[in-house]
Structures are given as structure tokens and as C-alpha cells.
Structure 1
Amino acid sequence: MAGVLERTVRWSRYVALGDSFTEGLWDSPDGVAGPDQPDVPLRGWADVLAARLSARRVAAGEPPLEYANLAIRGRLLRPILADQVPAAIGLRPDLVSLIGGGNDILRPSADVDDLARQLESAVVRLRAAGIDVLLGTGVDTVDSGRLIRVTRARVATYNAHIWSIARRHDAHVLDLWGMRSVRDWRMWADDRIHLTTEGHARVAQAALVGLGLPPDDEAWDDPLAPQPPTPRLEQLRGDARWARDHVYPWATRRLRGRSSGDTRRPKRPVPEPVVEA
């Protein structure tokens, strides 16, 4: 696990696994990309992390980092582990980020202990292949709306499992729960469950720290400047728009047994050198 911050990047090939969080939903430098705009290129924290790792390798006279991203929005943990983990092992990386389970935890029937057992089996498999693993906790939802806040106890239990899994198998942890900055609603997109571009950038810095590396930006977790409270009527109108534009479509897909990622393929299925800064 990460201890004293290191200065060198020892990894040469990184593969990111997961769901919409790692796919980078809502971080779209070339235009807004929500769940219903499938063709707009996405970036996201894992892409930013790969770019930062690659830049440090190049600065040290090493070849650029090779990077693949197999994450697909809407995926539950079991498909992530069944499909993406074997594919990642076949790509022969020396670093994998494996973050999933959030879509499961949104369901009241989620068995968090079983999710943790599944996750640990995958970590064991990755570590046996000689791959370093970066796990990620869930975000603290204490400041979220009521519909999201009800998951807080399940997220906290899952996080405790993640820290224990990391300790047992010498994995790294991206500590989203401990980030003060992402508890600010301005870090979240209109759907309230995905990050904005700034949120993704800050998470990438937290990932560097989780890997035992110094961040590029020492202010990566500083809270945003406070704003005046939102008037109650404006809050209610915003809640109504959110329910109409995001909760209703999500619930409709779920009732029909569908996912926003049903027809999607990984955005970066093959490891390629990252040359951008």
C-alpha cells in the first residue's frame, strides 16, 4: 500500500476497469456528453491520471505510458469482473485500476458483503498475475439529496471492505470518501451522480496520491469558495428538473432491464502510448 510519496513512475502499462465513473461520463472537453450523447468523446479521471503518469515517465527519459480503458457505463460489479478483468490480464499491464459496485449499491437489495467477496477474488487474480491494483472507495453522500444519501451506510460498509482488501493484498486505494472537495455540489454534473470536468481532474490528483506519488496540484483537495445558499424555491425547481431529466429515465431503463451502456464498447480497448500532457 502507499506510504511515503515516491517520485518515479515505475508502471509502463495501465488499464482502467469499471463503470461510468472510470469511463469519464460528463467529462467531455469537446462538448456536453451525458448518457444520451454516446458519440461525444469522453475523458475522465483515469485518462487524466494516465496522461500525468506518462508525462512524468517522459520527463524522466522513459517511454510514454501505454494506456487502455475498458470501463463501460451502467455496468454492475459482476460483469465488470467477469468481462473486464480477464481482458485486462490479457493486455499484460503492470497497473490496473478496478473501481465498481456503485451501480449495485444504488439498489436497495444490494449485498455489500457479497460484492466485497467478488471484488477480493478479482484482486487476488490480478495480484497473482503480477499486476499492481488501484481500488477506489465510494464518495461520502452525507451532503447529497435524500435519494442518494440513503446509500451512505452501504457505501461506508463497502469502503471498509475495500481498505481491508487493499491491506491484505498490498493494493493501493483512491480515497474518494476522504476527499473534501467532491462533497461540494459544484463538483457534480446535472445528474448528481457523475463528476464535472473539475471533479474528474481532482480525482486524478487523488489517484496519484493513492499510488504513492506526489500530486501535480497541492490544492487538489481544497474546498471551493463558499457561495450564498440557494433559495428554497430554486432548490425545489432544480429537484423537479433532476427527477424529470435523470431519475425518471434511469428508473424506466431499470424497469425494462436495460442499461445506458448496453450497446457500448470500451472507448480505448487497446493499450496505446499517451503522448499528451
Structure 2
Amino acid sequence: MAAETPVRTLIAPAEMNRRTGRFLYRFVLVATLTGFTVAFVFPLYWMTTGAVKSSSELADQNLSLFPRSWHPESYADAWTNVGLGQFFLNTLLLAFGAWLTQLLIDVSAAYALSKLRPVLGNVVLGMMLAFNIFILKRFFDQIPVELLDSARIDGAGTLRVLISVVLPLSRPVLAVVSIFAVVGVWKDFLWPMLVLPDEAKQPITVALNRLSEFMPANQLLAGMVMASIPLLVLFLIFQRHIIAGLTAGSLKG
């Protein structure tokens, strides 16, 4: 019976068996997690609490972590006074259109690079910066060629194989790509600002930047909070699906 190869770890097992080693490990782990938590959570907390502060309190140089007086009406004022509902609708329409377009292009490109193997396909992939295409291609690479060949023997063409065989197997990674596409469009700022000069058609990110000169600070923060809520909810609901989709073969070597 062959001897098992010992597993190499960052910290030697002998060090972990010592009280000092365990203490240092836990201290570094807790300090790292605390630092990342503060770095990511504190801006959200500051934005959320700033939205319920008064404008004078926000302008005060003596900053406070907790509001001295609560003004939750800032959310209603931000929604009604500047018409954030229309900008939310614009963002939803842009996100839907971009999601549909990206999915069609990314799936087609990834399938061609993975299964059709065009000339200079690897060169094209190396020159691209499309992360979604890379994820899809790595997932498509894991689909057995025999499965596709059996579908072709039954008379299915290339498009039929893609629609009837590949896409049903790719639902986990398609969900991940869809989430990435929606999040990317939702937080995009520069491109919509350049191509949408009509203020009535601008998404929420561009509208808030344009209206920041005219809105009170607390209402601006309230608008930023409301613009962030859909992305936070999307992540909290689908975080397990994101991890499952990325580990379902798309990033396996």
C-alpha cells in the first residue's frame, strides 16, 4: 500500500498544535476578516445613516456615527422631487436589453471557441477581455464531445445542438453570466453618460451624478441607497448560485 503524501499547508501542523501558534492564527484570521468587513460595510453604513440625517448635520464638521435627528422622509423626497422612479425604469430597460444582447453574443462566441474550434480561435480568445465569454467557454469545454456527436447522429445541426443540448446543461453558468451582465450595466456610468444625452432616458447612476448639484445631501444619499438596494438584494439571493455556477466546471482546469 503506497504511503499517503503529506498535505502541505501554509502553517505547519506542529505550529497549530502549539498554543502560541493557534493564538497567532486566530488573531490574524480575525484581524483580516474584521478589516475586510469594515472596509466594505462601513461605506454602506455611512451612506445609509447619512440619508436619514439633516442637511445641516451632514455639513457639520463634527461628524457623528449616529444621526442626532432622524429624517426618513429623505427617501420619499428623493423619490418624488427628482422623479427617481423614471430613472429606475430606464435602468431596468437598459439592463434587460444589455443582458439579452450579451447573452446572445457571449454564448455564441464561447460555443464557437469551445466546440467549433475556428482557425486562430485561441489567439482571438487571448486578445479578448470578455470575462463572461471566458467563463462560458471553460464550462462548454467540460461538456463531453460524445454527447454532442450523438445529437448530430440523430440529425441535429449546430444550432440545434446548442439550443437543445448545450444550453439546458449550462443553466448554472448562464445564471452567473446573467447576474454579472445585469450588475455591470446597473453600475455603469461612463458609457450611458456618453451615448444618452437625453436626460429623460438616462439611468439612475448618471441621473444622480447630474442632479447632485441641485439635490440636498441627505436626499442624494437616499437616492444612492435606493440605487444600491437592487444589487445588494440580487447578491444576497443568488450568492450560492454564483458560487455554484463558477465551480460547476466553468473554472476547472
TM range (shorter): under 0.3
Greater helix proportion: 2
Greater fraction strand: 1
Q: Give 1 or 2 for the bigger CA radius of gyration.
A: 2
TM-score, scaled to structure 2:
0.21
